[in-house]
A and B are shown apart, each in its own frame.
Chain A
């Protein structure tokens, strides 16, 4: 196997007494689309935050193309080629769509600024299906279009690794198909994608491999179909007996896994 693009070893982060991510280790090969799955509260988003530098890990290591990301501020990690979207969509409300994308183009090598950035930003808007909205305010977009805009901004960084946090959530069936196609097309361009996702159709269609977390720990890692049949994964998702999701999470949080 070639050297992984991203190699995570023993990544740990606690909030007070709650260990949100607990000795997490996995790797992502170049060109792969890997799903990061798990029930609500299992630590997926925290894991993404640790990779992107939004949060700093208590211990462990995150190697990306030979760079140690742990301890680097988010802006350095972004410039190294890691871009992301957010679970709760974050667009720059007061700015136009084109300016939102230009913000992604301006601060890395191989980017562009000013007049040179306009056509590139517009091409990215086209790509995510926002052609013609260059001058609309981000605040005036509906939820789906804001998600598209956020993706265009992430793509503007020309990332080697793209982190998508539930980017396909909340799409209707037609939009979902278009969204899946879009992510497929990113891989064809040589991008590697790590995505947190609950929409199983998307996971089946997109992910070569899945890493499943529960209560901060990895409980499965392997081919998508195999992993989703794993009894422990099924148990983590559905809970034991007829407990509700909340109770299952409470148990999990208390160190059940």
Chain B
């Protein structure tokens, strides 16, 4: 491991430690806002781990998030909370394996549409089940879990997801995904099985997203399919990851922080125009920052460096 990576790792852990201490000094509103930040931080990072290298834009995020939340709503009466969290993670993975089996052969816009449709399908299935079998659309989650605990769990999950991403980049699987993203035909011809590589990463990152849904579920108290499976969540995750830059591990976080602030501001000040403003934000990001903030910073930096090299009379 290089020295720079050790420094980055230590700095990251330091930031996490500081963030872990914050809730003891902050009010309810700040902790709640912190939960927003962390929940999107986890989801956008997990999304970027798969969609960044493979360039398969998934709109199924909320399907996994909602399934995680529903696992809690259904099982938390009978099972202890940690067991329920573990089950949510596994269900998320299994669902992703099933979905991946059907979709990962698709590419480009077909994949986008299919994942979007899938999220809606899951929502409709849950709705159908609740209406016809349980006869009530909503569920109540009464768990003795405080905001503070949710905050800490999400923070720990974010650390795990980042470490996982950092680790994967060092494995053959990580290289395979980058090769697939650059040119899938080449990937096949160097011996990579693209379907398998995508499947593995899609399943694990989806498990993380389901776990996020399970962790934040007690926050809502009342849960119905329209809340847990709101497609808005999928879109927000995509926008955040793209704003930050999905090809870098920390890229999505660079998009999460400003956008969670912005969405908070918009929904407080202009609740009626929220969707429109969200759409405009999306357009602006895709149009002006196609490689995200991190891509933009990198480009400016490399231009600055090559200018410096030229000034010294270097070059090739």
Chain B 146-205 interface residues, beta-carbon cutoff 8 Å to A: 170, 172, 175-176, 178-179, 181-183, 185-194
* A122 contacts B by Cβ under 8 Å: no
The interface residues of chain A lying within 8 Å CB-to-CB of B192 are: 75, 103, 107
Residues of A within 8 A of B170 (CB): 114
* Among A79, A92, A93, A95, contact of B191 (Cβ-Cβ < 8 Å): A79
Interface size on B, residues (CB 8 A): 20
| A114: B residues at CB distance < 8 A | 170
Name the contact of B190 in the complex, choosing from A93, A94, A107, A113 (C-beta under 8 A). Answer: A107
* Complex-state Cα separation, A95 to B53, whole angstroms: 12
Contacts of B194 in A (CB 8 A): 75
Cβ–Cβ < 8 Å partners of B181 in chain A:
94
* Bound form: Cα–Cα A20–B178 in Å: 33
Q: How far is the CA of A157 from the CA of B182 in the complex (A)?
A: 19
Q: Are A73 and B193 in contact (CB under 8 A)?
A: yes
* Nearest-Cβ distance from residue A49 to partner chain B, whole angstroms: 10
Instruction: Check B179 against A92 for contact (C-beta < 8 Å).
Output: yes
Closest Cβ of chain B: how far from A180's Cβ, in Å?
Answer: 24
The number of inter-chain residue pairs (CB within 8 angstroms) is: 75
A28 within 8 A of B: no
Residues of A within 8 A of B188 (CB): 53-54, 73-75, 78
Central interface residue in A92, A104, A113, A114, by most chain B CB within 10 Å: A92
Residues of chain A lying within 8 A (CB to CB) of residue B190: 75, 78, 103-104, 106-107, 153, 156-157
Residue in B172, B182, B193, B247 whose beta carbon sits within 8 Å of that of A92 in the complex: B182
Contact indicator per residue, chain B 213-234, by CB within 8 Å of chain A (1) or not (0): 0000000000000000000000
Which chain B residue shows the least CB distance to A105?
A: B190
Would you give the 0/1 interface string for B51-75, flagging 1 where the beta carbon is closer than 8 Å to chain A?
A: 0000000000000000000000000
Check B189 against A74 for contact (C-beta < 8 Å): yes
Residue picked from A52, A91, A103, A157, most chain B C-beta under 10 Å: A103
The distance in angstroms between the C-alpha atoms of A73 and B188, with both chains bound, is 8
Given contacts A113-B172, A113-B175, A114-B170, contact A103 B193 (CB under 8 A): no
- For A78, A107, A108, the residue with the greatest tally of chain B CB atoms inside 10 Å of its CB is A107
| A83 near B182: Cβ-Cβ < 8 Å | no
Contact with B along A147-184 (1 / 0, CB 8 A): 00000010011000000000000000000000000000
A96-108 interface code vs B (CB 8 A; 1 in, 0 out): 0001001110111
A107 touches B182 (CB 8 A): no
Note all chain A residues with C-beta closer than 8 A to B182. Answer: 92-95
Residues from 37 to 67 in A contacting B, C-beta threshold 8 Å: 52-54
Distance of B182 from chain A, by nearest CB (Å): 4
Using Cβ atoms and an 8 Å threshold, which residues of chain A touch B186?
90-92, 103, 153
User: Are B179 and A108 closer than 8 Å at their CB atoms?
Assistant: no
Does A84 touch B at the CB level, under 8 Å? yes
Q: A107 and B176: CB pair below 8 A?
A: yes
Q: Which residues of B contact A99 (CB under 8 A)?
A: 175, 178
Contacts of B193 in A (CB 8 A): 73, 75
How distant is the Cα of A107 from the Cα of B194 in the complex, in angstroms? 12
| B172 contact set on A, CB distance < 8 A | 106-107, 113
Would A90 and B185 be within 8 Å (CB), given that A73-B193, A75-B191, A153-B190 are in contact?
A: yes
Complex contacts, A104 vs chain B, CB 8 Å: 190
Centre residue among B170, B182, B189 by max chain A CB count within 10 A: B189
Question: CB distance B189 to A78 under 8 Å?
Answer: yes
Q: How far is the CB of A145 from chain B (nearest CB, A)?
A: 12
> Taking beta carbons and an 8 Å cutoff, which residues of A are in contact with B?
52-54, 73-75, 78-79, 83-84, 86, 90-95, 99, 102-104, 106-108, 113-114, 153, 156-157
List 5 contacting pairs A-B, 8 Å CB cutoff, sorted by A: A73-B188, A74-B189, A78-B191, A91-B183, A95-B182
In the complex, given contacts A79-B191, A157-B191, what are 6 additional A-B residue pairs having Cβ atoms less than 8 angstroms apart? A78-B190, A90-B183, A94-B178, A103-B179, A106-B190, A157-B190
4 residue pairs, one from A and one from B, having the closest CB atoms? A107-B191, A74-B188, A92-B182, A78-B191
